[in-house]
Amino acid sequence: MPTDRVLILGDACVDLIVQLPDRARKPLDLTKSIPRLFGGGSGANVAVALSRLGIETAMVGTMGDDGYGRWIRQDLLREGVETEGLSSINDAFTLMVMAIIEPDGERLIVVWPHEGAAHFHLQDHHIDQNLFMETSWLHTTGICLRASPARESILKAMKAAREAGLTVSLDLNLRLELQRLDGETRRTFEEAIDYSNVVFGQADEEIIPLSGRNTIEEATRDLCNGQRIVIARQGKEGAMAVTPDGIHQIPAFKVEVVDTLGAGDAFNGGFIAAVLANCTIPEATRWGNAVAAWNIGRPGARGLPTRQELNGILDDVNG
């Protein structure tokens, strides 16, 4: 029988974080600029966010048979994420993301290897569809839709999950600074959206370009198409949730920004956990904003709250 377990299908990597000093201040303070290694990956970040919020979570994907891959597996196990679905690839490297963090918290992302990283080697045989029988929700990410064979394998798994009655969610993760929105890319994402009950995306950088509409409201309505929930993340403005029944604008929580790495993944985890707790869509969006706010107030993509810590954020605002 399906449970509230969430299956994450996607990427896991390592993040190397370098915090740049404020060059306007003399002398330069270089004490925070020592590179630090964190767990990362759009899929894995959501898995950890959910696990910390008390949701049973399993990760499915491919990593390199290398030191980073082994480090990731142990890191996820420490976080309580099931890793039996992670496969090691002998002839590909685990992705490393170098994030250069500006003093205002914004970041520049550089990835290595630039092409052919292990998460793109995901194939059908790496995905045990028997897991769908023990799961109520499948979440995946557009990161792995960029290249074959992962693209075809994930689309096939999304279709199978919908047919099995799972809720399917997709974080667009278009990253248009890294790839063009050409015809093939657009068709891939349109197919993935068709299989999705919930679509997450950044409002200006992803949802508007993908829809071709002029405003966030028009773009989210277009992707919703009366069939699914679309969440347009808007940074400090909060998030817009569009459902077949209406539109909800939920404000962000005020927080001092350390860095914005993984903020969208944190939001996704909070939203999914809230839906599984039978919250309304506006309240689930509020949970997403709260988890994202907690995350950007801490370094790296894994500055994520426990359920008790999340309750504290929500109670403080309610009080």
The answer, yes or no, to whether residue 124 has pLDDT greater than 60, is: yes
Average pLDDT of the residues of the chain? 92
> Which residues touch 318 (CB under 8 Å, ≥6 apart)?
none
Determine the pLDDT at residue 75.
96
Determine the pLDDT at residue 52.
97
The answer to whether the peptide bond before residue 35 is cis (omega within 30 degrees of 0) is no
Determine the pLDDT at residue 318.
56
User: Architecture of domain 6-11+42-94+118-318 in CATH?
Assistant: 3-Layer(aba) Sandwich (3.40)
Q: Percent of the chain, pLDDT > 70?
A: 95
Position 305 confidence tier, pLDDT thresholds 50, 70, 90: very high
Q: Average pLDDT, stretch 223-235?
A: 96
Lowest mean pLDDT among 61-65, 132-136, 248-252: 132-136
Determine the pLDDT at residue 57.
98
Sign of the alpha-carbon dihedral angle for 85, 86, 91, 97 = positive
Residue 245 class from Cβ within 10 Å (0-12 exposed, 13-18 middle, 19+ buried)? exposed
What gap in Å lies between CA 14 and CA 41, rounded to an integer?
Answer: 7
Lowest mean pLDDT among 33-42, 196-205, 229-238, 281-290: 33-42
The answer, yes or no, to whether residue 2 has pLDDT greater than 70, is: no
The answer, yes or no, to whether residue 26 has pLDDT greater than 90, is: no
Chain centre to alpha carbon of residue 144: 12
Taking the CA of residue 171 as centre, how many other CA atoms within 13 Å lie in the half-sphere pointing to its CB?
Answer: 29
Cβ proximity of 19 and 101 under 8 Å:
yes
Q: Average pLDDT, stretch 266-276?
A: 98
165-177 confidence digits (pLDDT tens): 999 999 999 987 6
Cβ proximity of 27 and 6 under 8 Å:
no
Sign of the alpha-carbon dihedral angle for 201, 205, 209, 215 = positive
51-96 confidence digits (pLDDT tens): 999 999 999 999 999 999 999 999 999 999 999 999 999 999 999 9
Position 319 confidence tier, pLDDT thresholds 50, 70, 90: very low
Report the alpha-carbon angle 177-37-69, nearest 5: 85
The answer, yes or no, to whether residue 1 has pLDDT greater than 60, is: no
The answer, yes or no, to whether residue 268 has pLDDT greater than 90, is: yes
The answer, yes or no, to whether residue 288 has pLDDT greater than 80, is: yes
Q: What is the 3-state secondary structure (H, E, C) of the chain?
A: CCCCCEEEECCCEEEEEEECCCCCCCCCCCCCCCCEEEEECHHHHHHHHHHHCCCCEEEEEEEECCHHHHHHHHHHHHCCCEEEEEEEECCCCCCEEEEEECCCCCEEEEEECCCCCHHHHCCHHHCCHHHHHHCCEEEEEHHHHCCCCHHHHHHHHHHHHHHCCCEEEEECCCCCCCCCCCHHHHHHHHHHHHCCCEEEEEHHHHHHHHHCCCCHHHHHHHHHCCCCEEEEECHHHCEEEEECCEEEEECCCCCCCCCCCCHHHHHHHHHHHHHHCCCCHHHHHHHHHHHHHHHHCCCCCCCCCCHHHHHHHHHHHHC
Q: Which amino acid is at 4?
A: D
Q: Average pLDDT, stretch 271-299?
A: 96
Q: In the sheet that 13-19 helps form, which strands lie side by side, from edge to edge?
A: 36-40, 13-19, 96-101, 107-112
Cβ proximity of 192 and 153 under 8 Å:
no
Rank 15-24, 173-182, 233-242 by mean pLDDT and report only the highest: 233-242
Residue 242 β-bridge partners = 230, 247
